Structure 1
Amino acid sequence: MKRTALTVLGMHRSGTSSVAGALALLGATAPKTMFDPSPDNPKGYWESRAAVHLNDRMLGIGGSWWNDWRPLEPTRYSETQTGDFRSEIISLLQSEYGQAETIVLKDPRLCRLWPIWEPAVIESGFEPGYVLPLRPPAEVARSLLMRDGFSMEEGLLLWLQHVLSAERYSRGRPRVVLRWSDFIQDWSSQVARIAQSLDWIHDPSPAAAAAVDDFLAPDPRTRRSTLSEARQPSQIHDWANQAYGLMTALMLEDTAATHHRIDDLARLFDSACGLFGAALAPALVKAQTAQTYQMERDQALHEASVARDRIATLASESTERADQLRIALQSVQTLESQKSELEVHARRDAVVIRRMAASIDRLTDAVARADAQTDAVVESRAQAESVIQAMTLVRTQVEALEQSHARAQALASEQSAGQLQTLTETLERTFDQVQRQARVGAEEAQARIVFEVAARQEQARISDQALTEQRREAVIKAERQAEALYQTQAALDAARADRNCLEDQIRRHPLATWRRLRAASQTAD
Structure 2
Amino acid sequence: MESHAVLVLGMHRCGTSALTRCLGFLGADLGSELVEPAGDNPTGFWEDIRFLAINQRLTDLLGEEGDRWWEHSVPPEIPLSSPGVRSLMSEAVEEIRGRFAASAWWSFKDPRTLRAFPFWEEALVQAGVQIMEVIVVRHPLACAQSLLRRNDIPEERSVLLWAGQYLAHWPRVAARPFVAVDYDRVLEEPKRELRRLSDRLGLPWREAAAEEARRFLRADLRHTRFAAEDLKHRPDISPLVVETFEALEDLCVDRDLQSASARMVSLHAEFSRAIPVLRALDSEIARTVRRSHELSALQREVSALRKRMEASRTWQFLLRLQGMERAARGLRKRLLGSRADGSE
Conserved 8 A contact 2:10-2:166? yes
The residue aligned with 1:240 is 241
Quote the offset at 1:235 in angstroms. Answer: 5.2
Match of 1:56 in 2: 56
Cα displacement (A) at 1:91: 2.5
Q: Does the Cα contact within 8 Å between 2:167 and 2:268 map onto a contact in 1?
A: yes
- The answer to whether the 8 A contact 2:170-2:265 is kept is no
How many angstroms apart in 1 are the aligned matches of 2:177 and 2:198?
Answer: 11
Report the structure, 1 or 2, having the larger helix content: 1
List alignment gaps of at least 5 residues for structure 1.
295-525
Cα separation, partners in 2 of 1:210 and 1:73, compared to 1, 3 Å: same
Once the two structures are superposed, the pairs formed by residues 90-489 of structure 1 within 5 Å of their partners are 90-94=93-97, 96-97=99-100, 99-165=102-168, 167-205=170-208, 208-219=209-220, 222-227=222-227, 230-233=231-234, 236-250=237-251, 251-255=254-258, 257-278=259-280, 280-281=282-283, 283-284=285-286, 287=289
| Deviation, structure 1 residue 244 | 0.5
Q: Deviations over 1:434-464 (max 9, x none)?
A: xxxxxxxxxxxxxxxxxxxxxxxxxxxxxxx
Query: In structure 1, what is the equivalent of residue 334 of structure 2?
Result: none
Look up the match of 1:66.
70
Partner of 1:436: none
Aligned letter for 1:174? P
Alpha-carbon spacing, 1:268–1:102, altered in 2? closer, same or farther (3 Å): same
**Residue type of the partner of 1:245?**
E
Counterpart CA distance in 1 for 2:169 and 2:280 is 23
Contact 2:72 2:282 in 1 (8 A): no
Q: What secondary structure is seen at the aligned counterpart in 2 of 1:9?
A: strand
Contact 1:32 / 1:96 at 8 angstroms: preserved in 2?
no
- Report if aligned partners of 2:143, 2:158 keep a CA contact under 8 Å in 1: yes
| 1:129–1:280 distance in 2 versus 1, CA, 3 Å | closer
Deviation of 1:210 (Å): 2.8
Tell me, in whole angstroms, the C-alpha distance in 2 between the residues paired with 1:282 and 1:119.
33
- 8 Å CA contact 1:10, 1:111 repeated in 2: yes
Amino acid in the other structure paired with 1:215: F
CA contact (8 A) 1:10 1:166 kept: no
The match for 1:82 is: 85
CA contact (8 A) 2:134 2:179 kept: yes
Give 1:509's aligned residue. none
Equivalent residues of 1:136, 1:244 under 8 A apart = yes
Query: Do 1:14 and 1:135's aligned partners in 2 also have CA atoms closer than 8 Å?
Result: yes
User: 1:330 matched to which residue of 2?
Assistant: none
Instruction: Answer with 1 or 2: which has the greater Rg.
Output: 1
Deviation of the 1:290 alpha carbon: 6.6
Equivalent position SS for 2:119: helix
Partners of 1:200 and 1:146 lie apart in 2 by 36
Distance 2:55 2:142 in 1: 25
Instruction: Flag the 1:222–1:182 CA change in 2: closer, same or farther, 3 A.
Output: closer
* Structure 2: unaligned runs, 5 residues or longer: 297-344
Give 3-state SS (helix, strand or coil) of 1:226's partner.
Answer: coil
Does the residue aligned with 1:42 lie in a helix, a strand or coil?
coil
The reply to whether residue 43 of structure 1 matches residue 52 of structure 2 is no
Instruction: Report the Cα offset of residue 184 of structure 1.
Output: 1.4
**Sequence identity percentage:** 25
For the residue of structure 2 that corresponds to 1:131, the secondary structure is: strand
Find the aligned partners of 1:86 and 1:154 in 2 and give their Cα distance: 32
Q: Is the 1:70–1:274 contact (alpha carbons within 8 Å) kept by the matching residues of 2?
A: no
Deviations 1:475-504 (A, max 9, x none): xxxxxxxxxxxxxxxxxxxxxxxxxxxxxx
On the 8 A contact 1:70/1:273 being kept in 2, the answer is yes
Partner of 1:144: helix, strand, or coil? Answer: helix
TM norm structure 2: 0.75
| Whole-angstrom CA distance in 2 between matches of 1:230 and 1:169 | 27
The count of corresponding residues between Structure 1 and Structure 2 is: 289
Aligned partner of residue 70 in structure 2, secondary structure: coil
Deviation string, structure 1 residues 136-180 (Cα, Å, up to 9, x no partner): 111111110111100111111210111113633321321111211
Match of 1:391 in 2: none
**Deviation at residue 53 of structure 1 after TM alignment:** 2.4
Deviation at residue 114 of structure 1 after TM alignment: 1.1
Q: Distance in 1 between matches of 2:56 and 2:280?
A: 22
Report the equivalent of 1:22: 22
Letter in 1 for 2:199: Q
**2:248 counterpart letter in structure 1:** M
Structure 1 distance, partners of 2:134, 2:155, is 26
Matched letter for residue 67 of structure 1: E
Counterparts of 1:293 and 1:267, CA distance in 2: 39
Label 1:131 to 1:61 Cα distance change in 2 as closer, same or farther (>3 A). Answer: same
Does the CA-based 8 Å contact 1:30-1:97 persist in structure 2?
A: no
